[in-house]
Chains A and B, each alone.
Chain A
Amino acid sequence: MESWPKARPAVRKKIAIFILIGWVLLIIGDRVDELRVYQGAQMAMYTIALASIVLLTGYSGQVSLGNGAMMAVGGYGAALTLNNLGTPIWFAFLMAIVTASLFGALLGAAAARVSGPYLAGTTLALAVGLPAIANQFAFLGGEPGLLFDVGFPPERFGEEFTQYKWFFWIASFIALIALFITSNILSSRFGRTWRAIRGNSLAAELCGVHSARMKVLAFTVSSGLAGLAGAVLAMTISLVAPGAYGLALSFALVTGAVLAGISSLPGVVLGAFILVVIPEISVALADRLGDADKLNNYLPGLIVSVLLILSVIFTPNGPGENLRKHLHKKPAH
């Protein structure tokens, strides 16, 4: 607190904005019905996951299709910590970050030599293979998965305070903190260095940037964020199971990131909103077209794929990115 007067005006304004957003979320949470509150928690989860992609792909230029796998690592890390060590919830979330970061560092070290489509392919293999490992080891719970129970809301909030609202509060709180920290990292020299590497790796090296080390760092931090998102996802369904972190999740995240602007951190909110809205749209569509439930299982995936293809063809950096360029009238980088 005493460092507040010393903090630069920019950071103080940022803190104020985040506190304001927190207040707004609090008020909204009280007004909407339970379905929206639950979707709010999912949105918070997606913002964290998308932030990890913005950092990794938007800033350091490394394409990863395996964010679902890193989320799985975080989710399992949190669940195993909570169930086996009986720690407080916040420690479980911390362990999610730690375990996913470690995995990310390993992945980054292995992937530092690869780039472009080869990196995408490697991470894709990870996305497919990693969750299935849960089936091989009994302590990982197999297909039915592990329980992840963050407990009931405190009793002083009253009877009307539902479990899902509690998830919304926790998820939003975590998302706000994670985004604040990420925003600071991205506007620091780390962010600038990553953008330099993305722009021209060779030129960056000539300027004294240790390209490989920074790339691994990007993977580490990004995976930590993804792991946190994975733990938040686990909280919302009280379950960690391989099916929750499948390929569809990785693709949805990539699509959300591209649509929202791959290098725009504020855009992750828009991206998260789109990801939560897509199932709603598909429910409405399926109802209109009849044979609702059969369609319902495939429509979200179809919509995501179509959106991804369209945006790759027309706006490779995402419509959000184009909008940003247009508004700021200067190149993104």
Chain B
Amino acid sequence: MIRKTRIKRTWLAAAVIASGSLLATALPANAETGVSASEIKLGITLPLTGAASPGYNKIGNAINAYFKYVNDNGGVYGRKVTLIQKNDEYSPQLSIAKTNELILRDKVFALVGPLGTANFTAVHKSVGLAKRGVPSLFLNTGFSGFSNKKSYPSSFMILPSYAMEAKIIAQFLKENHAGKKLGIVYQNDEFGIDGLGAFRAAGTKFDVSIPYTSGTQSAATAQTWVSQLAAGGAQVVVFFGVTSATAPLLAVAAAAKYAPQWILGSVGSDPLTLRALGVPVAVLNGAQTPAGNPSPNDTSDEYVKQFQEINTKYNTGSAFDDYVLQGMNVGLMTVQALRAAGKNLTRKGLVRAMETKGSTFASVAYSPLGFSRTSNVGHTGYYMAVMDANGDRKPFGGTVTLYTTDSGSGPVVKSTFKRPAMPAKGLPSNS
């Protein structure tokens, strides 16, 4: 009797599930995913909260602010560009879950500026971005592995790789800090190891080498770093980590009266964020850092000036710093890419447009762009900068001396490249 009831219930449940699923079947796809007559949907995963979020959590809103400006001025061939932000707290498996949401539920056209080396590596593999053909533009990471076109056919970098950055710093160390004791603190994953490998290849010998696990940065762990650095007598310390790790390192060192020459990697060196995290501006004074863009306070720069105006109008409440500048630049590049892909917008078309026309796009950074049919490489160089007593960034030696290189064994050379002018009113008209 109970058995019969159970079997009946099983049949019933099966019938209910089957009919329910038929109703839930998706409608056939319409044109390209994420593109309609009036809208282009883009997605980004980044740390909006969590240990690694300070600074980076402004990037999404900055990109969005730029998109709103463009939308108010006709959009891209009449379509509004919207950015859906998902918080992944810098955790790879959250990035996977959120990217699944973006692609399967929100059905975005492409990813723009996904942040984090370990995050994008995990997402690309797990969500199968290559097989799906989902373009990912202007990754917010400099891991040189992403420039491999075969492994990452539809992804495009924008930042110079960490290997490039390390090579340029290595050259700078040779030219300006020869003979001094060197120390390095780096994030113990592909991001930091990418840089470390390039330093080794360039022949830089670090007397003190301190890895830290992402997520463990704090005042307490910074104490151990400073003790080791001071004990090893490091006179120049290179830092290759995120901003929320730079801050305790600098603050603890200042308190311990340990004052080496700091060389802060580009990822964790934004002065405004560091000051907000409690680093006294006096400590930042004299810190050296590779930079790709002009200082966000340099209103004599046409890009900075235009972006600042957009920020004031469309991103109120967000102070204009490196991250906002970077975000708006990604917005500018994205709109140029969407325009270059033409009115009949497809994912394949976007990838092709990036490969064939991407290297000519206007960007605030000084170095040339390396996009081509065989390369995902974005910007290819840095100039060295120094922070002053106001925490502002000035070029080392007074004027911008741009160095370009590759992620491999190519030489570091001085470059005379002149970047394209900012489009009129910051609105691209390319095609």
Known A-B contacts A144-B122, A163-B128; A34 and B17 likewise in contact (beta carbons under 8 Å):
no
Note all chain B residues with C-beta closer than 8 A to A32.
21, 24-26
Minimum distance in angstroms from A100 CB to a CB of chain B: 19
Q: Please state if A294 and B87 are interface contacts (CB–CB under 8 Å).
A: yes
Known: A24-B14, A237-B93, A243-B92. A144 touches B21 (CB 8 A): no
A233's nearest neighbour on chain B, judged by CB, is: B93
Contact A144:B118 (CB < 8 A) given known A13-B7, A163-B128, A293-B87: yes
**What chain A residues lie within 8 Å of B178 (beta carbons)?**
none
CB distance from B97 to the nearest CB of A (A): 8
Q: Are A143 and B14 in contact (CB under 8 A)?
A: no
Q: How far is the CB of A23 from the nearest CB of chain B, in Å?
A: 9
| A and B contact pairs by CB, cutoff 8 A, 14 listed | A20-B10, A24-B17, A32-B26, A33-B24, A35-B105, A147-B125, A237-B96, A237-B122, A237-B126, A239-B93, A239-B126, A241-B92, A296-B86, A297-B49
The digit string for A105-147, where 1 denotes a CB below 8 A from any CB of B, is 0000000000000000000000000000001000000111101
Contacting residues, chain A, for B214 (C-beta < 8 A): 142-144
Query: Residues 18-53 of chain A: 1 if any B CB is under 8 Å from the residue's CB, otherwise 0?
Result: 001100100110011111101000000000000000
Binary contact track B98-112/A, C-beta < 8 Å → 1, others 0: 001100110000000
Chain B CB count within 10 A is highest, among A34, A239, A296, A328, for A239
Please give me the 4 A-B residue pairs with the lowest Cβ-Cβ distance, nearest first.
Answer: A144-B118, A33-B26, A238-B126, A35-B104
B100 nearest CB neighbor, chain A only: A38
Asked if A289 CB lies within 8 Å of chain B CBs, one says no
Minimum Cβ distance to chain A for residue B262 (Å): 25
Does A229 lie at the interface of the complex (its beta carbon under 8 Å from any beta carbon of B)? no
**B interface with A by C-beta (< 8 Å):** 2-3, 7, 10, 14, 17-18, 21-22, 24-26, 48-49, 85-87, 89, 91-94, 96-97, 100-101, 104-105, 118, 121-122, 125-126, 128, 131, 188-190, 213-216
Given A293-B86, A296-B87, the answer on whether A144 and B121 have CB atoms closer than 8 Å is yes
Contact assessment for A293 and B25 in the assembled complex, using a CB-CB cutoff below 8 Å: no
Chain A residues with CB under 8 A of B215: 135, 143
> Which chain A positions have C-beta within 8 A of B87?
293-294, 296-297
Give the nearest-CB partner of B188 in chain A: A142
- Give B216's nearest chain A residue, CB to CB: A135
What is the chain B residue whose CB lies nearest that of A296?
A: B87
* A293→B48 contact, CB < 8 A: yes
Report how far A144 CA is from B91 CA in the complex, Å: 8
Q: Which of A35, A38, A142, A244 is B213 in contact with, Cβ under 8 Å?
A: A142
Chain A residues near B25: list those with CB within 8 A. Answer: 31-33
User: Nearest Cβ distance between residue A152 and chain B, in whole angstroms?
Assistant: 8
Which residues of B sit under 8 angstroms from A143, Cβ to Cβ? Answer: 91-92, 118, 189, 213-215
The reply to whether B49 and A294 form a contact with Cβ atoms under 8 Å apart is: yes
Nearest A residue (CB) for B107: A35
B21 touches A244 (CB 8 A): no
Say yes or no: A239 contacts B14, CB within 8 Å.
Answer: no
A206 at the binding interface (Cβ < 8 Å): no
Using CB atoms and an 8 Å cutoff, list the residues of chain A in contact with chain B: 10, 13, 17, 20-21, 24, 27-28, 31-36, 38, 135, 142-145, 147, 149, 152, 163, 237-239, 241, 243-244, 283, 293-294, 296-297, 328
- Give CA–CA (A305, B125) in the complex, Å: 32
Contacts of B190 in A (CB 8 A): 144
Residues of chain B contacted by A27 (CB below 8 angstroms): 18
The CA-CA distance from A31 to B105 in the complex, in Å, is 17
**Contact indicator A38/B104 (Cβ below 8 Å):** yes
Residue among A34, A237, A328 having the largest count of chain B Cβ atoms under 10 Å: A237
Chain B residues with CB below 8 A from A34, complex form: 104
Which one of A144, A237, A238, A244 has the highest number of Cβ atoms from chain B below 10 Å of its Cβ? A144
A36 touches B48 (CB 8 A): no
User: Given known contacts A20-B14, A35-B104, A294-B87, is B131 in contact with A163 (CB within 8 Å)?
Assistant: yes
CB nearest to A297 among chain B residues: B87
Chain A residue at smallest Cβ distance from B105: A35
Closest CB-CB distance, B348 to chain A, in whole Å? 15
Note all chain A residues with C-beta closer than 8 A to B126.
237-239
Give Cα A237 to B85, complex, Å. Answer: 20
Q: Would B92 and A17 count as touching, CB distance under 8 A?
A: no
List residues of chain B with CB within 8 A of the CB of A147.
125
A38 CB contacts on chain B under 8 angstroms: 100, 104
Verify B14–A21 contact, CB threshold 8 A.
yes
Nearest A residue (CB) for B128:
A163
Given A24-B14, A238-B125, A297-B89, residue A36 in contact with residue B49 (CB < 8 A): no
Residue from the set A10, A35, A283, A328 with the largest chain B CB neighbour count within 10 Å: A35
Q: With the chains together, A294 CA to B215 CA distance in Å?
A: 20
The interface residues of chain A lying within 8 Å CB-to-CB of B122 are 144-145, 237-239, 241
Q: Chain B nearest CB: distance from A212 CB in Å?
A: 34
Q: Does the CB pair B86–A244 fall under 8 Å?
A: no
Known contacts being A21-B14, A24-B14, A143-B213, is A244 close to B93, with CB within 8 Å?
yes
**What residue of chain A has the Cβ atom nearest to residue B191's Cβ?**
A144
Docked complex Cα distance between A28 and B213 (Å)? 43
By the criterion CB–CB under 8 Å, are A293 and B85 in contact?
yes
Q: How far is the CA of A33 from the CA of B22 in the complex (A)?
A: 10
Which single residue of chain A is at the shortest CB-CB distance from B124?
A: A238
Cα-based distance from A10 to B2 in the complex (angstroms): 12
Residue on A with the closest CB to B190? A144
Instruction: Give the docked Cα–Cα distance between A145 and B123 (Å).
Output: 12
CB neighbours of A21 from chain B (8 A): 10, 14
